Structure 1
Amino acid sequence: MVKIYPFKAVRPVKEEAGNIASVPYDVVSTEEAKEIIENQPRSFMRVIRSEATLPGVDPASPEVYEAADRNLKILMEKGLLVQDEEPGIYLYRIKQGESIYLGFVSNVSVDDYRADRIKKHEHTRYDKEEDRTKHIDTTNANTGLVVLLYRDSGDIYSYIDSLVPEGNPDAVAREGSGVVHEVFRISDPRILTDLEDMFAGVDSFYIADGHHRAKSSVNVAEKRESEGRMTPESDRFMAVIFAENRVKIHGYSRLVTDLGSYSPETFMAEIKSRFDVRVYGEINDRVFRIPPLKDSKTPIHTIHMYLAGKWYELSAPVRNPEDVIGSLDVSVLQKEVMEDMLGITDPRKDPRLQYLGGARPLADLKGRVDSGAFKVAFSLQPVKVETVLSVADEGNVMPPKSTWFEPKLLSGLVIHTLE
C-alpha cells in the first residue's frame, strides 16, 4: 500500500504567485529560459534553469547548481517565497478551456519507489538523472512536480473535490494561453489523516510525468544515506497526484529531417508495401488529433503521415493484440518505418528524429515540413491511460515519447525542502 505525507511547503506569497510560477525546466531551451527571465525577473526559471543567468557557462558545471541554490535563497530572503509553519497538502486545480483537472500535492516515499509501489513506464537517461540529482542535492529541495496517477473507485476523488474551499485560492497563476492554475492549502489534521487512511488502501502509484525527477530524488536519498546526512524529508519527494480517469493523454508526433536513400516517390512506394494507405484530404490543422478514416471491428494500427504537401492515413492489422507493447501504433511505426526504412535504431539519440508534444496544433507539424526543415511527419493517436497502467503493472516500459499527459503543471507554486 502507498503512503502520502503532508509537508511544510515553500510557496509564493499570494500577490507574487503569477510572477514566480514558470513552465517546467524540461519544456524550454536555455535561450527560451533566458527570454522568460528577461521578461519576468522574478520567474522561478531562475532556479530551475539557472544556466540561463550565466552566459557562457557549461550547463553541467557546479557553478550552475550553486546559482540555482543562490537564486532560490534570494527569493526566500526577499520574502517572495515563504515556508508554511505547519504541514499540509495542496489542492492543485487547472482550468483549461472547458476542462477542469483537480489533484493534490503531497510527499511520497522513496521506499515505495524502490519497492515498485510507484510504478514506471519509461526508461530514464543518465545525463538527465545526473542533472536533476545535482540540482535537488545542491538546492536541498524538490523544485519540480512528479505527476502520479492512482486507480480510483470514485471515493477518493469525490472526497478531494469536496475539500476545495469556496472563495479565493491561496495562489493563482495564469498562462498566456488562458490556462489558470490554482492552489488551495489544506492543513486540518483530521482531513490529512483521512486522506492518509484512504491511500493506505491504494496498491500503487503510476508515474505519468517526471520519471527523471522521481529517480533523481531517489538518487539523492541514497547519496545522503551513504554520506551520513540523511533527514526524514530526504527520504520523501514531492508529487502531484491525480485519479487516473481525471487526466488526458495525447499522441506524440514525430518529425524526420531526411528520407535517407529514398525520394518522396520511392518512400511512398515502400510505405504502401507495408501499410494500407489512403489520401486523407483536408484536415482541421487547428486541432491536435486527426480522426481515423478507417473503421474496423478488429484491432488496427492507425498512423497519419504528412509528406510532400499531403496528409495520408496508414493502417495495418494488429498482429498480436496480447502483446501490449508490440500492439502500440508507436511500436509499429518505429519498427516498420524508423528502423527498417530509415535506419533510425535509437529513437532517443538519433538527430534525424525529433518530437512534437501532442497538445500542439497540427499546423505546427505541417509547417515544419513545409518549411523544408523536415521531410516527413507522423501524427499518432493517443494511448489509453489504462494501457499505460497495464504496461507499468507488467514491469514493461513504453517506447520513447509515447504519451503526452495533460494537465501540465507549473513550477514554483509548491516547493518541498529536504530539511
Structure 2
Amino acid sequence: MVKIFSFPAIRPEADKAGDTASVPYDVVSTEEARECIEKNPLSFMKVIRSEATMPGVSPKDPIVYETARKNLENMIQSGQLIKDDEPGIYVYRVKNGENIYTGFVANVSVKDYEENKIKRHELTRYDKEEDRTTHIDTTNANTGLVVLLYRDHDGIFHYVESLIQENSPDGVSKTDTGVVHEIFRISDEKVIAKIISMFDKVDALYIADGHHRAKSSVNVAQKRRGEKRSTDESERFMAVIFAENRVKIHGYSRLVTDIGEYSQEAFLEALSKTYTIKPYGEIDETVFRIPPLKEPKEPVHVFHMYMGKKWYELSAPVKNPEDVIASLDVSVLQKTVMEDLLGINDPRGDERLQYLGGSRPLSDLKIRVDSGSFAVAFSMQPVKVETVLKIADIGEIMPPKSTWFEPKVLSGLTIHTLD
C-alpha cells in the first residue's frame, strides 16, 4: 500500500487565485516567464522562475534561489498567500473544453519513492534535478505539483468527484487558452480519513509528470536527514493524484540545434536508409498532433519532421513489438537518428537536443526552426497510458521526455512547506 497525507496548504485568497496561479516552471523559457511577470506582477512565476526578474543573472546563481525564497515570503506577508489553520486534502478540477479532469492534492511519502512504491518511467536530467533540489531546499517548500496516477479499483475517483458536486471552489484560475483550474478544500476529518483509507488497497502510484520535482524532493529529504534536521513534512512531498483512466497523453517534440556536417539533402538521404519518407504537405499549425497520412494496419513507427520549411512523415516497421522499450517511437528515433546520425548519445544532457511539450501548437516547432535557433524538429505520436504503467511496473525506463500528460496543472494554487 502507499501512503497519502493531508497537510495545511499555503494558498492564495480566493479573489487572488486567478492572478497568483501560473503555468509550471518547466514549460516556459526565461523570456516567456519575464513576459508573464511583467503582465501580471502577482504571478507565482516570481517564485518558480525568479531569474526572470533579474536580467543578466545566471539561473544557477545562488541569488536566484534566495530571491525565490524572498518572493514567496513577501507573498505570504502581504496576505496574497495564506496558510490553512488545519490540514486538508484539496480536490483539483480542470475544465478544458468538453474535457474535465478531477484529482486531488495531498502529500505522499519520500519513503514510498525510495522503495519504488511511487514508480517512475523516466530518468531526470542532471541540470534540472540540481536546479529544483536547490529551489526546494532554499524556499523550504514544494512550490509545484508532482502528477501521480493510480489504478482505480474501488471507486476512489467517483468518491472524490462526489465531494464537490454541490460546492463552490475555494480558488479559480483561468488560463489565456480558456482552461479553468479549480481548487476545493476538504477539511472534514472523517472524509479525509476515508480517502486515506481507500488507498490501503492501492499498491503503487505512478509519476505522470514532475519526475524532476519528485526526485528533487527526495534529494532534499535525504540531505536534511544527513544534516540531522529532518521533519515529518520534509519526508513528504506534494502531489496531485488522478485515476489512470482519467488523463490523456500527448507526444513530446524534439528540437535539434544542428545536423552536423549533413546538408539537408544529405540528411534526408541518410534517413531514407531506415525510413520511408513522404512530404506531408500543409498541416494545421494550431493543433499539437499530426495524424499519420495513412492509419497503419500493422505496428509501424511514425513521426513527423520539420526541416527546410517543409514537413515530412517518416515511417518504418516495428521490428521487435514484444520489446516494450525498444519498440517505442522515441527509442527508435533516439537510436537511429539522434545517435547514429547526429552523435547525440546523451538525451538527458546534450545541449544540442531540446524538448517541447506536446500540448504546444505545431506552429511553435515551425517558428523555432524557421528562426534558425534549431535545424530540425520532430513531432511524436503519443503512447498509451497503459504502456507507461506497464513500463514502470517492470522496472524499465522510457527515454527522457517520452510523454506529455494532460491535464497540465498550475503552480501556486497549493504550496507545501517542509516544516
TM-score of the pair, normalised by structure 2? 0.95
3-state SS of 2:220 partner: helix
Q: Distance in 1 between matches of 2:59 and 2:309?
A: 39
Q: Deviations over 1:22-76 (max 9, x none)?
A: 1112222333323322222221122222233344444333332222222212111
Measured after TM superposition, the shift of residue 215 of structure 1 is 1.3
The change in CA–CA distance for 1:157 and 1:358 in structure 2 (over 3 A counts) is same
Other-structure match for 1:302: 302
With 225-234 and 5-14 compared, the bigger mean Cα shift is at 225-234
Q: Distance in 2 between matches of 1:349 and 1:237?
A: 26
Q: Distance in 2 between matches of 1:51 and 1:309?
A: 34
Other-structure match for 1:163: 163
Other-structure match for 1:367: 367
Q: Distance in 2 between matches of 1:269 and 1:54?
A: 46
Measured after TM superposition, the shift of residue 305 of structure 1 is 2.1
3-state SS of 1:273 partner: coil
Other-structure match for 1:244: 244
**Residue type of the partner of 1:390?**
K
Q: Given that residues 125 and 349 in structure 2 are in contact (C-alpha distance below 8 angstroms), is that contact kept between their aligned partners in structure 1?
A: no
With 157-166 and 286-295 compared, the bigger mean Cα shift is at 286-295
The change in CA–CA distance for 1:368 and 1:32 in structure 2 (over 3 A counts) is closer
Aligned residue pairs, count? 419
Q: Distance in 2 between matches of 1:374 and 1:114?
A: 38
Measured after TM superposition, the shift of residue 235 of structure 1 is 1.1
Q: Distance in 2 between matches of 1:231 and 1:87?
A: 16
Other-structure match for 1:385: 385
3-state SS of 1:223 partner: helix
Q: Given that residues 154 and 198 in structure 2 are in contact (C-alpha distance below 8 angstroms), is that contact kept between their aligned partners in structure 1?
A: no
Q: Given that residues 124 and 400 in structure 2 are in contact (C-alpha distance below 8 angstroms), is that contact kept between their aligned partners in structure 1?
A: no
3-state SS of 1:206 partner: strand
**Residue type of the partner of 1:7?**
F
Measured after TM superposition, the shift of residue 325 of structure 1 is 0.9
Measured after TM superposition, the shift of residue 170 of structure 1 is 0.2
Measured after TM superposition, the shift of residue 114 of structure 1 is 0.7
Structure 1 spans left out of the alignment, 5+ residues = none
3-state SS of 1:274 partner: coil
The change in CA–CA distance for 1:344 and 1:35 in structure 2 (over 3 A counts) is same
Matches within 5 A, 1:157-236: 157-236=157-236
Matches within 5 A, 1:15-414: 15-153=15-153, 155-414=155-414
**Residue type of the partner of 1:413?**
L
Q: Given that residues 304 and 380 in structure 2 are in contact (C-alpha distance below 8 angstroms), is that contact kept between their aligned partners in structure 1?
A: yes
The change in CA–CA distance for 1:257 and 1:75 in structure 2 (over 3 A counts) is closer
TM-score of the pair, normalised by structure 1? 0.95
Measured after TM superposition, the shift of residue 378 of structure 1 is 1.8
Structure 2 spans left out of the alignment, 5+ residues = none
Measured after TM superposition, the shift of residue 372 of structure 1 is 4.1
The change in CA–CA distance for 1:271 and 1:100 in structure 2 (over 3 A counts) is same
Q: Distance in 1 between matches of 2:16 and 2:357?
A: 29
The change in CA–CA distance for 1:263 and 1:298 in structure 2 (over 3 A counts) is same
Q: Distance in 1 between matches of 2:157 and 2:79?
A: 34
Measured after TM superposition, the shift of residue 346 of structure 1 is 2.2
Identity of aligned residues (%): 68
Superposition RMSD in Å: 1.8
With 209-218 and 31-40 compared, the bigger mean Cα shift is at 31-40
